[in-house]
Structure 1
Amino acid sequence: MSAMFLGIDGGGTKTAFVLVDAAGRLLARHESTTSYYLEIGFDALRALLHDGVKATLDLAGAQSSDVTHAFAGLPAHGEDSALLADFSSLLEGALPRHTVGNDMVCSWAGSLAGADGISLVAGTGSIAYGEWQGRSARCGGWGEVFGDEGSAYWLAREVLALFSRMADGRTEPGPLLALVREHFQLAHDLDLCAAINGSAARSRFAQAARLATTAAQAGDAQARQLLVRAGDELALLAAGTARSLGLPAGAPLDVSYSGGVFTAGELVLGPLQAALSRRQPGAVLKRPRFGPEMGAALYAARLAGQPLRGAALGLLQG
């Protein structure tokens, strides 16, 4: 039987499971809900992972013993050293050979197919991770209270702040005003306070980020500027990672990306490329080769000492 590699890409909104073999064949794919332990707790996270592993293996007609190695990249891993053992034990009993790390690695391994460079993640939260000449570094990922700049949560917060300024006359109203009213079904503008305070779910709050794109497409200059700022914040993450990696000034550097914020397309990718040119000369923005869920599987293969290359990667890319 060919070697099998299971990748688990966790996130603030969803968790994706992918099973591939050494030849580059996709054997199974499964998706579940958020794996952010601060939102659902460790018991629910463990159950979600075990259920997801079983569902994925069942789809492929495989057993846990068939999996050569698995990698689970989970949000917030490594951000509380007292919990590292708890994270490491999450897949015990589900898979005999596995590694648990941060979901930033999934984005890097997927978007750059394991090559040197930096990956930017801008989903519910934001973080950057890169590898270069055997070194690795991360930047950002400090959480929504005082960090996660450029993320959907950050962008949602800025959208609502702009709405409040439009609503009470501190700035000129634009299309965003009506979009927020409609999204939250507000009878009165101040009802937004109750709508937000009554919903503690981080992933649900972050969904308001999409209103920035819709408003910008409708001609809202102030909403568009929020996306420009997001691009600049993400470029700062790339530059900080490059500095930690010790890249020489102006050295060629591939930068790729993943996460829901990038569904805004050129509204955020354009400002990101422009900001990279200013902040990290030599950086080139590259379209992701694979998604983070496939990146998790590729990283599992690398951890097993059997990295997928050439024809196998070509088959996966399809």
Structure 2
Amino acid sequence: MTTTLGLDIGGSKTMAVRAEGGVAVAEARAGSANVASVGVHEAGRQLDAILERVGAYGVKAVCAGAAGADTPEGCARLRDLLAERLPDAMIRVVHDSELVLAAAGVDDGVALISGTGSVAWGRHDGRTARAGGWGYLLGDQGSGYAMARAAVCRALAAVDRGEPADRLGRAMAAECGLRSTEQLLDHFYNHTDRRYWARRASVVVELAEAGDSAGRAIVEEAVADLADLVGTVADRLSCRGPVIVAGGMAVNQPLVHNELRRTLAARGIDDMRVLDADPVHGALRLAAQLLDRDAVALSG
């Protein structure tokens, strides 16, 4: 019975699923094995931990989707770590955005992730394209982090102008346990974890839903940014969908989700679907494809 392994390696955690004969038999979670985030030594330690939990014996093919797999060098470092631990396995390393289409069982289309960060990736007629995914210093437009940062910037701009804090500024300060919006500046630099701020994007969305104009403006800008990511990939590939959305902002915030659906439809992309499976199962599907290709090569 053929054994395959799928890995979804994010900035904060690693998920693994082991399958035998195409049936998942073990799942496990560990800390991040993202080389770009934690370094080679820690990534190797976390891989050891998760492989011990799901079992490394007999694995014939493994696919790892990693947020840090942005360059050939980054992919090679992770591939080497896996090869040391799974010497008999065929190995494929991809950017984690590629797992979304695979997890949805879709071969051609556009994947959009909007959570702590943001990225779009697509495949059509054998070609692939990606937009965004540059990280919080250079991009992540339309993400939870970007929305919270925009709210903080708006509040601090009001402080600079000597204006009283608006409803959104007061709500953001209160959410952070602060007494005034002036304290947001130091608080932002003292709390550098992107997930901390991404969680506070819910304040922006809740106020937007309640009719707050500042919150609404930030949500509209975020939706436009996400639609631009999808549009960039769709235009490059001449692909009109489907668009598979994943991530907490795009999936779990109804206002963002519905506005994104409306905006994409206005651009002629009316097939938007929510990913209803864990992305790690996409890695498992891609691992199985390695075996299929190998079988075809041998038969040829």
TM-score by length of 2: 0.85
Number of residue pairs aligned between Structure 1 and Structure 2: 291
Distance 1:212 1:17 in 2: 34
C-alpha deviation, 1:128, in angstroms: 0.9
Q: Which residue of 1 aligns with 2:77?
A: 86
Q: 1:202 to 1:41 in 2, by over 3 A?
A: farther
- Select which of 48, 51, 56 maps to 2:46: 48
Q: Which of 261, 266, 271 does residue 249 from structure 2 map onto?
A: 261
1:4-54: CA deviations, max 9, x gaps?
32211122343221223334x331222233444444223212222221222
Contact kept in structure 2, 1:5 and 1:19, CA below 8 Å:
yes
For the residue of structure 2 that corresponds to 1:253, the secondary structure is coil
Does 2:24 align with 1:31? no
- Name the amino acid aligned to 1:260: G
- Please state whether the residue corresponding to 1:128 is helix, strand or coil: strand
- The structure-2 alpha-carbon separation of the partners of 1:259 and 1:186, relative to structure 1 and needing over 3 Å to count, comes to same
1:134-169, CA deviations, whole angstroms, 9 ceiling, x for partnerless residues? 222111112212211112222221132233346666
Classify the secondary structure of the residue corresponding to 1:118.
Answer: strand
Match for 2:155 among 163, 180, 204?
163
Whether contact under 8 Å (1:228, 1:272) holds in the other structure is: no
> What is the rounded CA distance, in whole Å, between the counterparts of 1:100 and 1:31 in structure 2?
18
In the alignment, which residue of structure 2 is the partner of 1:202? 194
Do the aligned partners of 1:159 and 1:208 also contact (CA within 8 Å) in 2? no
Alpha-carbon distance in 1 for matches of 2:198, 2:36: 15
Give the SS at the match of 1:92: helix
Q: TM-score, normalised by structure 1?
A: 0.81
Query: Offset at 1:263?
Result: 4.2
The CA RMSD over aligned residues, in Å, is 2.6
Q: Is 1:232–1:271's contact at 8 Å kept on the other side of the alignment?
A: no
Distance in 1 of aligned mates of 2:164 and 2:183:
20
1:179 counterpart residue number:
171
Distance 1:48 1:188 in 2: 41
Residues 88-107 of structure 1: matches in 2 within 5 Å?
88-96=79-87, 97=89, 98-107=91-100
* Contact preservation (8 Å) 1:7, 1:18: yes
Q: Is the deviation greater in 163-172 or in 206-215?
A: 163-172
- Structure 1 Cα separation of the partners of residues 163 and 266 of structure 2: 32
Distance 1:276 1:244, change over 3 A: same
- Higher relative contact order (Cα pairs below 8 Å, separated by 6+ residues): 1
Instruction: Indicate if the aligned counterparts of 2:5 and 2:19 stay in contact, CA closer than 8 A.
Output: yes
Change (3 A) 1:228 1:15: farther
Q: Give 2:8's aligned residue.
A: 9
